[in-house]
């Protein structure tokens, strides 16, 4: 059998009169169901002075709606044997419940109630502001390399909407008000700015009826104004970053590249896999094994619906000059640009693409209803068609050596749009003790 054909995700889609796109994808492997609501809003929608707001708002969505008091969202889901979460990205915010199959109506009721109304107080906002500040300390301010990565993004991009971090600054978090919360809710949390996906073990006719009952009369809003996330071309930018928490030095590189859904982005996904995916990858073999200058190399192409970054990050031995690490990275890119890639090497990458599709990761693997739901939702929201999730694999599998070589020549084998950061390890002495 054609190995790609077996990976097809079946689904049906329709739109309610209020503009909510619904995607149903029944799949009866385990008695579990995933309810996912994706809102087309992320950190790109934040103006200056409001960084971190989309993510802080995500926290507020768990703080109470008309019929679900504070704390009860967690309790309804967990006491019924489910798990839940939400996450905020540059371009989207998503909420999900993964529930025992018989509890599907509960998940739909909870999501509809908080799409219809948000009932939060100043006290809730202050509490979640404190929680998010701890999240910032945990994930950024108290971690080696994390502040460097935040700074790298500011340098890599030229447009403010792309530059700032999702978690935002402490100062901006302090300025968020309850009025901001309500305005943001009205503008972005409307059915016509959302996609609802139900995947897993359920009866689609029953699901349709529940969805009609809970979601159909949530009023739509005038669509939010589109964000200009475009990026100008520019020359190379460099910085040395002193990280007092890091104990091993690093080199980080980025290039601005085209958005998802383009041949160039697809080809650069493949280039990223060739260069950094696993111990057989070119950069691992060259920097870690052959030259023995790096401890690890990671990176690859982002797939945002906006100008994206191709990133490389190498942790290197303290005695090695970072400019040497940089030079070897460029040599490997040059090799790819000048000599291309043998078909046989692409075959290895294709086998891994298929394997990733079948991964058992609950968030992106096809074995998991949540993985299926997220795949469908991303393509519906970003490329206008949930079937993109099926075509994308075919698209990636058919990328040719020429496609990869051309994209590398144009976007990576150049100083244009490149950003270089050398991260100095300030905690080298303590770390070695």
Partner 1 sequence: MNRATPPPDVSMRPSQLPLPEAHTLPNGLRVLTLPDSRAPVVEFRLVLPFAGRAYDAPDWVGLSSATARLMIAGTPTRTSFEIADEADRCGGSIGVSANTETAILSARCLSASLEPMTRLMADVLLHPTFPPDEVEIDRANTLQRLRLQRSQPAFLAEERLRLALFGAHPYARLAPDENALQRWGVDELRAFHAARYRPAEATLLIAGDFETGALLALLADALSEWQGGIDSEPLSAPPLQPAETGWLLTPRPNSVQSHLMLGALCPPRDAPDSLALQLAVSLLGAGASSRLFLTVREQYGYAYSVGAHLDYYLRIGAFVAEAQTATENTHDAIRQIRAEVERLIHDPIPADELQATQNYLIGRHLLGRITLGGIADLYKQAVIYHLPLDYWQRYPEMLASLTATEAQTAAARYLSPEGFVTVVVGEPGLDSDS
* Closer of 149 and 381 to partner 1 (Cβ): 149
Cα–Cα dist 247/244, whole Å: 8
* Closer of 224 and 365 to partner 1 (Cβ): 365
Among 10, 47, 49, 134, binds partner 1 (CB under 8 A): 134
* Closer of 109 and 160 to partner 1 (Cβ): 109
> Taking a C-beta distance cutoff of 8 angstroms, is the pair 378, 256 a contact?
no
Q: Could you tell me which stretch among 13-21, 208-216, 298-306, 415-423 binds partner 1 (CB under 8 A)?
A: 208-216
Among 56, 94, 98, 396, binds partner 1 (CB under 8 A): 98
Cβ 229 to partner 1, closest distance in Å? 28
In terms of C-beta distances under 8 Å and separation of at least 24 residues, what long-range contacts does 313-319 make, across chains too? 313/250, 313/251, 313/252, 313/253, 314/250, 314/251, 314/252, 314/283, 314/287, 315/248, 315/249, 315/250, 316/248, 316/249, 316/250, 316/251, 316/287, 317/292, 317/293, 318/248, 318/249, 318/425, 318/428
Tell me which residues in 101-120 interact with partner 1 (CB under 8 A): 101-103, 105-106, 108-109, 112-113
Q: Could you tell me which stretch among 12-20, 183-191, 206-214, 324-332 binds partner 1 (CB under 8 A)?
A: 206-214
Among 78, 206, 212, 394, binds partner 1 (CB under 8 A): 78
Cα–Cα dist 379/252, whole Å: 30
* Closer of 33 and 152 to partner 1 (Cβ): 33
Among 17, 75, 206, 327, binds partner 1 (CB under 8 A): 75
* Closer of 186 and 317 to partner 1 (Cβ): 317
Q: Does 216 bind partner 1 (CB under 8 A)?
A: no
Tell me which residues in 240-279 interact with partner 1 (CB under 8 A): 244-248, 278-279
Cα Rg for the chain, rounded, in angstroms? 23
Cα–Cα dist 375/91, whole Å: 15
Over the window 146 to 185, marking each residue x when it contacts partner 1 by CB under 8 A and - when it does not, the resulting string is ----------------------------------------
How many other CB atoms are found less than 10 A from the CB of residue 10? 10
Q: Directed axis angle between helix 122-136 and helix 178-188, to 10°?
A: 80
Cβ 10 to partner 1, closest distance in Å? 15
Tell me which residues in 401-420 interact with partner 1 (CB under 8 A): none
């Amino acid at each position: 059998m054609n190995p790609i054909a077996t990976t097809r995700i079946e689904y049906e889609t329709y739109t309610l009169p209020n503009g909510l796109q619904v995607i149903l994808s029944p799949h009866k492997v385990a008695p579990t169901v995933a309810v996912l609501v994706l809102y087309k809003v992320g950190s790109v929608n934040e103006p200056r002075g409001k960084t971190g707001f989309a993510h802080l708002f995500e926290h507020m969505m768990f703080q109470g709606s008309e019929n679900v008091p504070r704390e009860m969202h967690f309790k309804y889901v967990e006491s019924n044997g489910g798990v839940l979460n939400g996450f905020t990205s540059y371009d989207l915010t998503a909420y999900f419940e993964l529930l025992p199959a018989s509890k599907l109506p509960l998940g739909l009721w909870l999501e509809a109630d908080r799409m219809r109304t948000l009932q939060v107080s100043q006290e809730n906002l202050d509490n979640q502001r404190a929680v998010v500040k701890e999240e910032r300390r945990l994930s950024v301010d108290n971690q080696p390399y994390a502040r460097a990565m935040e700074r790298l993004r500011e340098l890599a991009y030229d447009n403010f909407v792309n530059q700032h971090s999702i978690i935002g600054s402490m100062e901006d978090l302090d300025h968020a008000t309850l009025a901001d919360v309500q305005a943001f809710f009205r503008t972005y949390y409307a059915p016509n700015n959302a996609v609802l996906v139900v995947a897993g073990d359920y009866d689609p006719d029953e699901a349709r009826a529940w969805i009609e009952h809970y979601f159909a009369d949530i009023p739509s809003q005038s669509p939010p104004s589109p964000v200009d996330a475009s990026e100008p071309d520019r020359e190379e930018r460099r910085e040395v970053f002193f990280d007092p928490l890091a104990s091993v030095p690093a080199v980080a590189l980025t290039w601005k590249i085209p958005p998802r859904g383009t041949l160039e982005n697809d080809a650069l996904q493949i280039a990223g896999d060739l260069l950094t995916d696993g111990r057989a990858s070119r950069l691992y073999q060259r920097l870690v094994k052959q030259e023995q200058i790096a401890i690890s190399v990671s990176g690859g192409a982002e797939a945002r619906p906006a100008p994206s970054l191709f990133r490389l990050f190498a942790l290197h031995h303290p005695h090695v000059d970072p400019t040497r690490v940089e030079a070897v990275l460029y040599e490997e890119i040059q090799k790819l640009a000048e000599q291309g890639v043998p078909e046989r090497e692409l075959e290895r990458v294709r086998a891994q693409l298929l394997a990733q599709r079948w991964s058992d990761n609950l968030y992106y693997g096809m074995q998991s209803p949540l993985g299926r739901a997220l795949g469908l939702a991303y393509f519906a929201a970003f490329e206008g068609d949930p079937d993109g999730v099926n075509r994308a694999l075919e698209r990636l599998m058919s990328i040719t050596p020429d496609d990869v070589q051309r994209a590398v020549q144009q976007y990576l084998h150049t100083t244009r749009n490149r950003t270089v950061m050398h991260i100095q390890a300030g905690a080298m002495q303590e770390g070695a003790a």
